[in-house]
Amino acid sequence: MEEAILLAQVTDKAMSWLNGNYDAETKAEVEHLLASGDKRALIDAFYKDLEFGTGGLRGIMGAGSNRMNKYTVGAATQGLSNYLRKEFGGLEEIRVVIGHDCRNNSRRFAEIAAGIFSANGIKVYLFEDLRPTPEVSYAIRKLGCQSGIMITASHNPKEYNGYKAYWNDGAQVLAPHDKNIIAEVNRISSVDEIRFEGNGNLIEIIGRDMDRAFIDEVKKLVLSPEAIARHHDIKMVYTPIHGASSTLVPDALKAVGFTNIIRVPEQDVISGDFPTVVSPNPEEPAALDLAIKKAIETDAELVMATDPDGDRIGTAIRDNDGHFILVNGNQTMLIYLYYIMTRRKELGLLTGKEYVVKTIVTTELVKEIAEKKGIELFDCYTGFKWIADIIRKNEGVKKYIGGGEESYGFLAGDFVRDKDSVSACTLFGEIAAWAKEKGRSMYQLLEDIYLEYGYSKEVGISLVRKGKEGADEIEAMMKRFRNNPMETLGGSPITLIKDFARLEATDFMRNERVALEMPTTSNVLQYFTEDGSKLSIRPSGTEPKIKFYIEVKGSARTREELVQAEEEANGKINAIRQELGI
């Protein structure tokens, strides 16, 4: 009965598109959905409106209210335009930056958005071609804009696209502006309210000058220029995986002094079909296969890969036997922050005002390093808008020197307010040169961190649940975990539970409940155990997934003992996965 009611509702909605002021191509696709005997595609396309959330839009491309298309992008842009005119109406000129990645329809959506902004009297700086997300963030700040958008679905599969909204500090939109923009977007009740006819006089194309300015800022982050000069010829393989960082990363690596950058020709081809990979996600091992193959062929030391919109980096390094191993996001964070804190101390650059940031699901080992180095650490929610929020709140008082998250995102400098694979790539090369100067490989540097601060092993597991049924299942799973809390994890008693939806922590050691000091609520649960293990559970805000983050601790006094520590950690992680049924 419920299914029949839902089908009737989506059919009515689809018919309104056939009768509305939509283009012929869209109407033809809607007619095809209505005529199909299998109604699942019709339901998924129309059962809800694609939500303009706090991070913007992300969805499968196609006709329908729950799809990325000219009209959902149009409504988002008209709503954002309406809010900008309310918020900055007193300015002589309101300005925005628009960037896009390599995805199918990204340029088209960017140009549609440029037309709508300009039709609303807003000055538009449109990048001439694809550019990485961090450059859009930088350009907003550099050009004194009030907002900006990036057309991208990050590392999602090829059928997806998305729309990220930024504010005048170059960071993704936060409260109260996020909710206010959402309200304006939701007020767009008809396609006829969207001003598609642009004003070309208000659209300015930008490109190479901004690239050069961005790279100049990246060069200022270098802490070991002498090490780079002496080891400039380190062989490093770089691939953009068909994406936007092909425009900046190689030039940035050369600008800081590296001379032996090896490319992967098949993946230098710009394509929204991502023809050489199943998934363009540097978190997926297979995404780096071609780059590692090239590194073996050329006897390279490092592999670096960036995702389609160029904000995240995946890496591989050689172990003590010369075999390539993937460096996960937590390990990359450890290497980056250990180096920055250690090198700044060596150079006498620590004044006591420096701080670093990590997300709550990232390894707790970062906390150990920061405490030992005497540097303040901030914890925040997943998403770089929260790291940017901390930077904004501490601006002029404390100095940000680095921060990131386990999902392969890092930001080394505050001239950008989103994760940045460009400076992350140059920093990775710099650390390799610095380690080489000390007679160590990158792998040995990671081992040294574990030996000094304790061993940690982290695993992220994502369960994909697509469509309406999947969304309902994810909601039910979170409700079950929240209402029936576990008492043990991996055989160790749970000592602390943090529920960020309720902003409440239950401390079983002290038998008390305490408030969690966070800027807002978030649908995240965390469990901490007596033996130092941590489990975090959260639905993804951008993909049809529920994510589990498992961290377990170990100890080792020698490099040889690290092997046993890893084996024991893997055993504990497997036990926890069995308990959770994942």
Which active-site residues does the annotation give? Answer: 154
Please state, in angstroms and rounded to a whole number, the distance separating the CA atoms of residues 400 and 337. Answer: 12
Omega prior to 176 cis, within 30 of 0: yes
State the DSSP code for 189: -
**CA-based diameter of the chain, in Å?**
73
Bridge partner list, 31 = none
Please state, in angstroms and rounded to a whole number, the distance separating the CA atoms of residues 291 and 237. Answer: 6
Angle formed at CA 474 by CA 473 and CA 477, multiple of 5 degrees = 85
Determine if residue 144 is left, alpha or beta; phi over 0 gives left, psi from -120 to 50 gives alpha, anything else beta. left
State the DSSP code for 454: -
State the DSSP code for 288: G
Lookup: tokens for 12:
């009515």
Please state, in angstroms and rounded to a whole number, the distance separating the CA atoms of residues 10 and 45. Answer: 8
Angle formed at CA 120 by CA 213 and CA 70, multiple of 5 degrees = 85
CA proximity to 422, closest of 306, 541, 288, 572? 306
Q: How far, rounded to the nearest angstrom, does the alpha carbon of residue 347 sit from its chain's CA centroid?
A: 31
Burial of 40 (0-12, 13-18, 19+ CB in 10 A): exposed
* Torsion over CA: 577, 579, 580, 582 (sign): positive
What count of residues does the chain have?
A: 582
Lookup: tokens for 372:
């030992």
Q: Which CA distances in Å does 422 have to 211, 244, 250, 359, 537?
A: 11, 10, 9, 21, 30
Bridge partner list, 256 = none
Q: Which residues contact 115 (CB under 8 A, 6 or more apart)?
A: 196, 197, 198, 203
Residue 511 half-sphere exposure toward CB, CA atoms < 13 A: 0
Please state, in angstroms and rounded to a whole number, the distance separating the CA atoms of residues 200 and 218. Answer: 33
